[in-house]
Amino acid sequence: MEDVKSSPLECGVAGRALPGFSESGDRHVFQPTREGALIAVVDGLGHGPEAAAAALEACAMLESNAGENVISLIKRCHVGLNGMRGVVVSLASFNFRDSLMTWIGVGNVHGLLLRLDTAMTGGDESLLLRPGVVGSHLPPLHASVLPVFAGDSLILATDGVQVTFDHSYVKSQPPRKAAENLLAQYAKGNDDALILIARYNGMSL
């Protein structure tokens, strides 16, 4: 008999550029690391090609250094974006063996960890966002470390998405489908928009 192993982290993304523009300044990263995976959502300030170029540059730096600490990653992007548009970014680094997530947000990329079992785990968690712009002015950097449990979902969404949606909906849908449906329903239409949903499945034996 063959074992069916599910991936420890299942990621679904939906995004769209501001109508009239071909490139979105909202980008994401889903990069495996030695210990787990790095997830990021980046929003280049404004919209159009310059916003997209800055966001792509930030994502490239995050992808090639994904195993670094999230605070080091923010600093690296801050220095690397010198001379370009700034970006706002939220990062989450997963350690699968220890079932831990370390997250940090600079600017206004909304972050929520939706618990499958709120009674057992103490409830949903919101990412504390510190005002600032990576590449322009950084706030004091503090990251939080949280335990994650199988079935928990991480939601990251840019400010082009109205984030007042019914989060319980996310639990009943595969991540990609949930992201697509939420974007279709809640994209504001006056900015680039991106929503990422990552479901933690844990390490199956």
Beta bridge partner(s), residue 137: 133
Three-class DSSP category at 112: strand
- For the CB of residue 191, give the shortest distance to Mn ion in the complex, in Å: 4
Residue 57 touching Mn ion (CB under 5 A): no
Part in contact with Mn ion (CB under 5 A); list of ranges 1-9, 40-48, 138-146, 177-185? 40-48
Minimum CB distance to Mn ion smaller for 15 or for 160: 160
How many Cα atoms are found within 13 Å in the side-chain-facing hemisphere of 18?
A: 17
- Residue 127 CA to residue 119 CA, distance in Å, equals 20
Minimum CB distance to Mn ion smaller for 89 or for 197: 89
What part of residues 186-205 is at the interface with Mn ion (CB under 5 A)? Answer: 191
Part in contact with Mn ion (CB under 5 A); list of ranges 7-15, 176-184, 185-193, 194-202? 185-193
CB burial of 5-27 (b: ≥16 within 10 Å; e: otherwise) equals eeebbbbbbbbbbbeeeebbbbb
- For the CB of residue 194, give the shortest distance to Mn ion in the complex, in Å: 9
Beta strands in the chain (DSSP E): 9-16, 26-32, 36-44, 87-95, 100-106, 110-114, 125-126, 129-130, 144-147, 153-157, 193-200
Distance of CA 87 to the CA centre of its chain: 13
Are the C-beta atoms of 184 and 169 separated by less than 8 Å?
Answer: no
Applying CB under 5 A, among 36, 41, 43, 154 the residue interacting with Mn ion is 43
Minimum CB distance to Mn ion smaller for 6 or for 185: 185
Minimum CB distance to Mn ion smaller for 23 or for 191: 191
- For the CB of residue 32, give the shortest distance to Mn ion in the complex, in Å: 27
What part of residues 123-182 is at the interface with Mn ion (CB under 5 A)? Answer: 159-160
* Residues that bind Mn ion in the complex, under the rule CB under 5 A: 43, 159-160, 191
